[in-house]
Chains A and B, each alone.
Chain A
Amino acid sequence: MPRFLHKTNDLEGSIMVKTRRARSLAKRESRNFWLYTSPWIIGFVAFTAFPFLSSFILSFMQWDVLSPPKFVGIDNYVQLSQDKTYFWKDLNNTLYYALIGVPLTIILGLAVSVLLSKPIRGINFYRIVFYLPAVFGGVAVLKLWTYLLSPGTGDGMNPGLINAMLGWFGIQGPGWSQDPHWAKPAVLLVGLWGVGGSMMIWLPALASVPKDLLEAGEIDGANRFQRFWRITVPLITPAIFFQLTMGIIGSFQIFMEPVIMPGSSKTWTDSLMVVLFDNAFRFYKMGYASAIAWVIFIMIMLVTLVNLYFSRRWVYYESK
């Protein structure tokens, strides 16, 4: 046999060994991939995908859990659109929390973070103090705030801390939960107390703004406000976009606040989540409640998509 054939054979053999080894390696990689990700995949199918689809189907059914479900078409959605006492009022409240609450949280959170961004002496103490209220959650905080916001007796005597503080400036505090115009701001105020928590997002964003850009602005004669508005804000738009999107999604899911610190009339404060909860777990109207869930979901999707669409015009990404 000529030598060169030998050589080719040898070569072929080694390639075959190599590919076989590569194949078994790839096989092991793929087996490990499925093995390690399986907890999420199983959970996704059982607790997300399947419930997601079935809630869509349920929203076209009438079902009280006891008797078999009945297909009713779009009846649930029609019924919802005609429910002026709960659905429309609670939708209105939810939109209030989103449209007033989210911008307020972003502006105040950013303002606090700008104050805390300069590494001056003792800044860690201030950061901890401003962050602290965000650590607290659950029922207890809201309970305490019902007392903090207590308007006191009819003539404004014996108020909670907030109205007492307003009194220092000669302001007669509002009735908060007992006043139709102030019940929703009362709910938002508790959230604003925890606004320091957002420094986790803002501080790294502010720190990432290049110093030389700000100095260049200073040399060009821009004042502090102009430098912040024209240089810092455009550079932190990804963080603003993130906070806006997450904030809106979160505000559509407000539940605990209106349940624990309701207005004198629940219709002043109740959110869509509360109607959903009541229909599902108090009245066992599973189909109707599912329809509410889908209305919430579609609204969140719409807002997020609109947000995403317009983000191309105002969100700055480094790669651009």
Chain B
Amino acid sequence: MSRNNAAATEKGTPVRRQSTKLMRNVRLMLRYAVLTMGAILFLLPLIWTISGSLKPPGEIFTVPIRWIPSDFQWDTYVRLFSVFPFWIYVKNTLIIVAFALIGQLASSVLVAYGFARFRHRLNGPLFILVLSTMMIPGQVTMIPQYLIYKELSWIDTYLPLIVPNYFAAAINIFLLRQFMLTIPKELDESAKIDGANSFGILVRIIMPMCLPILVTIGIWTINSNWNDFMGPLIYLSTPEKYTLQMGIYNLNAGRQGLTDYGLMFAASLVTLLPSLLLFAFGQKYFMSGIKIGGALKG
């Protein structure tokens, strides 16, 4: 019986295998075709704007689309820096980003370490409180926060944009704590025997092992502060203090009532460049993704 069966499948396989192999190849080709078309679709807006930034004014909105400019206007990227105070905006933005980054990384690491390593009967309940603050949308706390900063005379300074970063964002505490829990406690113990105190353990043992998640958090912090629009819009009123986002928002380049589209394209693209570089740098860290089901159980 079983021998019969085996013979039957043996006989049947080659034909079936051939047809499935063909089918598989067709499917694979189809997959590549769809992926390539999708990739082109996702890239076209970027290509169109890059090419637009290099075109002479009359060529940007032509049909059919002229993908390669008849005459490359490289000087658009030079003019960009004289038309509006680009470097001042960049400097202002970098000040905020740098201080925010230091604060966010330092405070998140400390707090996550507290939750991951020290026993206390309030550890669990407080951690749940941390998680539940993620549910409170920013707009509920925004107005009283503004009033607090007003009392402190912090309006039209960078402090309201920097200082909150020194109190650890809930999402970062969560990600770091989950990561720290996977580091074996035996490593702490051996460092303790060597005479390290709790802070020494954090700096010498825990932090180096958390590097991938620290890089991810760092990139997020840089990107979100670089792109922040509402914060500067609420708190900054002196044009010299504007961030790059505010500068781009108010930029209305034009001559004789005509919008200088090429320049607008160029200015926007230059603003996106740091995000692109960060992405290229951190790609291998955060493309690995975050697993939902497992991570939330912790």
A130-B42, A139-B245 given; A239·B292 CB < 8 A: yes
- Judge whether A80 is part of the interface by a CB distance below 8 angstroms: no
- Judge whether A76 is part of the interface by a CB distance below 8 angstroms: no
Would B143 and A280 count as touching, CB distance under 8 A?
yes
Point out the residues of chain B lying under 8 angstroms from A167, CB to CB. 63
- Judge whether B15 is part of the interface by a CB distance below 8 angstroms: no
A39-B166, A158-B63, A203-B289 given; A48·B136 CB < 8 A: yes
- Judge whether A71 is part of the interface by a CB distance below 8 angstroms: no
Would B290 and A201 count as touching, CB distance under 8 A?
yes
CB-nearest residue of chain A to B283 = A128
Residues 48 to 107 of chain B near chain A (Cβ within 8 Å): 48-49, 52, 61-65, 107
**A132-157 interface bits toward B, Cβ cutoff 8 Å, 1 = contact, 0 = none:** 11011111110111011010100001
**B226-255 interface bits toward A, Cβ cutoff 8 Å, 1 = contact, 0 = none:** 111110011000000000010011000000
Residue among B32, B114, B143, B265 having the largest count of chain A Cβ atoms under 10 Å: B143
- Judge whether B126 is part of the interface by a CB distance below 8 angstroms: yes
CB-nearest residue of chain A to B224 = A137
CB-nearest residue of chain A to B261 = A147
A29-B120, A112-B38 given; A201·B292 CB < 8 A: yes
When chains A and B are docked, how far (Å) is the Cα of A301 from the Cα of B267? 40
- Judge whether B187 is part of the interface by a CB distance below 8 angstroms: no
B268 is contacted by which of A54, A58, A144 (Cβ under 8 Å)? A144
When chains A and B are docked, how far (Å) is the Cα of A252 from the Cα of B224? 19
- Judge whether B19 is part of the interface by a CB distance below 8 angstroms: no
Would A204 and B147 count as touching, CB distance under 8 A?
no
Would B272 and A294 count as touching, CB distance under 8 A?
no
Point out the residues of chain A lying under 8 angstroms from B65, CB to CB. 161, 164
When chains A and B are docked, how far (Å) is the Cα of A51 from the Cα of B150? 13
**B97-137 interface bits toward A, Cβ cutoff 8 Å, 1 = contact, 0 = none:** 00000000001001101110111101100100110010111
Would A55 and B144 count as touching, CB distance under 8 A?
yes
Would B39 and A130 count as touching, CB distance under 8 A?
yes
Q: Chain B nearest CB: distance from A34 CB in Å? A: 8
Would B110 and A36 count as touching, CB distance under 8 A?
yes
A144 is contacted by which of B49, B123, B126 (Cβ under 8 Å)? B49
- Judge whether B154 is part of the interface by a CB distance below 8 angstroms: no
When chains A and B are docked, how far (Å) is the Cα of A40 from the Cα of B126? 10
A29-B120, A141-B272 given; A253·B287 CB < 8 A: no
- Judge whether B198 is part of the interface by a CB distance below 8 angstroms: yes
Q: Chain A nearest CB: distance from B107 CB in Å? A: 4
Chain B interface size, as a band, is: 35 or more
Residues 26 to 77 of chain A near chain B (Cβ within 8 Å): 26, 29-30, 32-37, 39-44, 46-48, 50-52, 54-55, 58, 65
A58 is contacted by which of B49, B143, B278, B286 (Cβ under 8 Å)? B143
B61 is contacted by which of A152, A238, A304 (Cβ under 8 Å)? A152
Would A297 and B136 count as touching, CB distance under 8 A?
yes
Q: Chain B nearest CB: distance from A14 CB in Å? A: 22
Would B164 and A273 count as touching, CB distance under 8 A?
no
Would B133 and A138 count as touching, CB distance under 8 A?
no
- Judge whether A187 is part of the interface by a CB distance below 8 angstroms: no
Q: Chain B nearest CB: distance from A117 CB in Å? A: 11
A47-B167, A280-B142 given; A135·B275 CB < 8 A: yes
Q: Give residues in A with beta carbon < 8 Å to B.
A: 26, 29-30, 32-37, 39-44, 46-48, 50-52, 54-55, 58, 65, 112, 115-116, 118, 120, 126-133, 135-141, 143-145, 147-148, 150, 152, 157-161, 164-165, 167, 193, 196, 199-201, 203-205, 208, 238-239, 242, 249, 252-253, 255-256, 259-260, 273, 276-277, 280-281, 286, 289-290, 293-294, 296-297, 300-301, 304, 317-319
Q: List 11 A-B contacts (CB under 8 A).
A: A33-B119, A39-B168, A115-B38, A138-B272, A141-B268, A143-B264, A160-B61, A164-B63, A260-B249, A293-B142, A294-B140
Closest 9 CB pairs of A and B: A43-B167, A36-B114, A138-B227, A51-B144, A140-B268, A33-B118, A37-B114, A51-B141, A158-B61
